[in-house]
Amino acid sequence: MQRVEQEAVQKRTFTKWINSHLAKHVPPLEVKDLFDDIKDGVMLLALLEILSGQKLPCEQGKKLKRIHWVANIGTALKFLEGRKVRIRLVNINSTDIVDGRPSIVLGLVWTIILYFQIEELTSSLPELQAFSSSNSSLDSSTSSTDTTSPPVKRRPLALQGGARKALLRWVQQTATKCLGLDVKDFGPSWRTGLAFFALINALRPNLVDMERVWRRPNRENLQEAFLLAETELGIPQLLDPEDMDVDKPDEKSVMTYVAQFLKHHPDRKQSDLDEKLEEAVTREQRKSQRELKMWLDQLEKEAVHAQETQGSLAQQYQVSLFKSLQVQLEMKRKQVEGALQSTQRDGMLTVDQALVKQAWERVSNRLLDWHLHLDRSLPAPLGTVGEWLHEAEGALRQEITVQQAHDNTASTVHRALEQHKVSFQQSLSTHLRLTSCFLKYH
């Protein structure tokens, strides 16, 4: 982005940011042309009063002269210096603001935004805590001398860099990382509009259908995201879609807008703790699910090996072969059912859960097929009875869903199914005992 274009974007963004605060003034004020309207210092002092909550002296009137403008701007700069922002006002003086020099005016407004919004809102984020002790020592050195020393010159770089890093990490950890979005700056990473939707989704999960917006045109996403943030979260539309849908969007403008979302985060510190806890739980769940899949895969290999090395019909019915594998699988049933409980908002299974489900179905089907093969191998009429029992068992294994039923009715149906299962299991046990007796005497 060329310098002229960058200044034009910053002018639009900063003007909207100023007006969002001046709307609280009594009576409301509005900046139409930033470089012209800021010259007399009246709007600037009004803005600082709103941001700080302090009353500031101001020369007002329709016939103000340049000397009054310079005085008002001087009052504003001295106020900022008194709040230890002095070191950021290098190369900014009253006459430059009165003359409406674009780069100086934008630099002053950015300083105000950085101090009163971005740093104030990010100061409680963990990433900025490391700067607190060094900042206090720098502040004390600043108060002891009026000359600009090298250590003081480093302070704005540390603070601005710390605030930027803290804000970016908050975005990543709160909104984008969990969705697989790679947001590594406040420029090109925001061009598609998806990162803005991710922020809205993090604060109000039910507002955004992320699947719907994933592949839409950039400007359509940007326009809808800005409108949604304004109507649902009360965040003013500081950015224009056409200013964002470029190769290198202006970082200062994006930071100014994104920082506003911090005000709507319910409890940043608690959220960090909850997120760490959730990540730890998720890691343990994934570890358990992967171990379960490995166990199921191993059981399937043992079943394949046992079938390939099968001996006589009687040997295959022994506990050391088919029965032992079947018992092992049944002992894992509750663990598998627990592992397949969805933790997703949309009710879908994770990749690891889906793999466990597939492994369970494979080994279950293999053992069922093996059981059927054994039953069919028995002489009549045991072979026919065994095949019927196999089909009945398969039907009972299918999931039964009772929908739109009264609680009592559903409970009655459930009890009947359970009784039927018990009866079936008894019949199956009888069948197995008969089979064992048959094999014993043949």
Over residues 81-86, mean pLDDT = 66
Is residue 87 within 8 A of residue 156, CB to CB? The reply is: yes
Spell out a b/e string for 209-219, using b for 16 or more CB atoms within 10 Å of the CB, else e.
eeeebeeeebb
Over residues 169-181, mean pLDDT = 87
> Which two structure tokens, joined as six digits, stand for 404?
């739109």
| DSSP code of residue 319 | I
Residues 6+ apart with CB under 8 A from 48: 54, 56, 76, 79, 80, 112
All structural domains of the chain? 1-119 (1.10.418.10), 161-264 (1.10.418.10), 271-377 (no CATH)
Over residues 319-330, mean pLDDT = 77
Residues 6+ apart with CB under 8 A from 135: 155, 158, 159
State the pLDDT confidence band at 419, using cuts at 50, 70 and 90.
low
pTM attached to this predicted model: 0.55
Is residue 376 within 8 A of residue 393, CB to CB? The reply is: no
Q: What is the dihedral of CA 76, 77, 78, 81, to 10 degrees?
A: 130
Q: For residues 112 and 289, give the distance between their C-alpha atoms in angstroms, rounded to a whole number.
A: 51
For residue 101, give Cα distances in angstroms to 15, 36, 47: 15, 10, 19
- What does the chain come to in residues? 442
For 221, half-sphere exposure in the C-beta direction (CA atoms, 13 angstrom radius) is 23
Residue 235 has φ and ψ, to the nearest 5°, of -95, 115
Query: What single letter denotes the amino acid at residue 91?
Result: N
pLDDT at 315: 54
State the pLDDT confidence band at 76, using cuts at 50, 70 and 90.
very high
Over residues 306-324, mean pLDDT = 64
* More confident: 251 or 420: 251
pLDDT at 31 over 90: yes
Spell out a b/e string for 352-381, using b for 16 or more CB atoms within 10 Å of the CB, else e.
bbebbbebbeebbebbeebbbebbeebeee
**pLDDT digits over 364-406, tens only?**
888 888 777 776 666 655 555 555 555 665 555 554 333 434 4
Over residues 233-241, mean pLDDT = 95
Whose CA is closest to 162, among 135, 199, 198? Answer: 135
Among 9-18, 321-330, 339-348, name the one with the lowest average pLDDT: 339-348
pLDDT at 373: 75
Q: For residues 404 and 407, give the distance between their C-alpha atoms in angstroms, rounded to a whole number.
A: 9
**Positive or negative torsion for Cα 56, 59, 62, 64:** negative
Whose CA is closest to 111, among 51, 156, 166? Answer: 156
State the pLDDT confidence band at 251, using cuts at 50, 70 and 90.
very high
**pLDDT digits over 41-74, tens only?**
999 999 999 999 999 999 988 888 999 999 999 9
pLDDT at 158: 41
pLDDT at 171 over 60: yes
**pLDDT digits over 131-168, tens only?**
443 343 333 333 333 333 333 333 333 445 678 888 99
Whose CA is closest to 14, among 33, 42, 29? Answer: 33
Is residue 86 within 8 A of residue 80, CB to CB? The reply is: yes
pLDDT at 412 over 90: no
**pLDDT digits over 265-275, tens only?**
765 555 555 56
Residues 6+ apart with CB under 8 A from 356: 289, 292, 293, 296, 336, 339, 340
Q: For residues 285 and 279, give the distance between their C-alpha atoms in angstroms, rounded to a whole number.
A: 10
pLDDT at 415 over 70: no
Is residue 354 within 8 A of residue 336, CB to CB? The reply is: no
> Which two structure tokens, joined as six digits, stand for 40?
């007399």
Over residues 211-226, mean pLDDT = 92
Task: Give the mean pLDDT of the chain.
Answer: 77
Q: For residues 43 and 22, give the distance between their C-alpha atoms in angstroms, rounded to a whole number.
A: 8
Over residues 305-331, mean pLDDT = 70
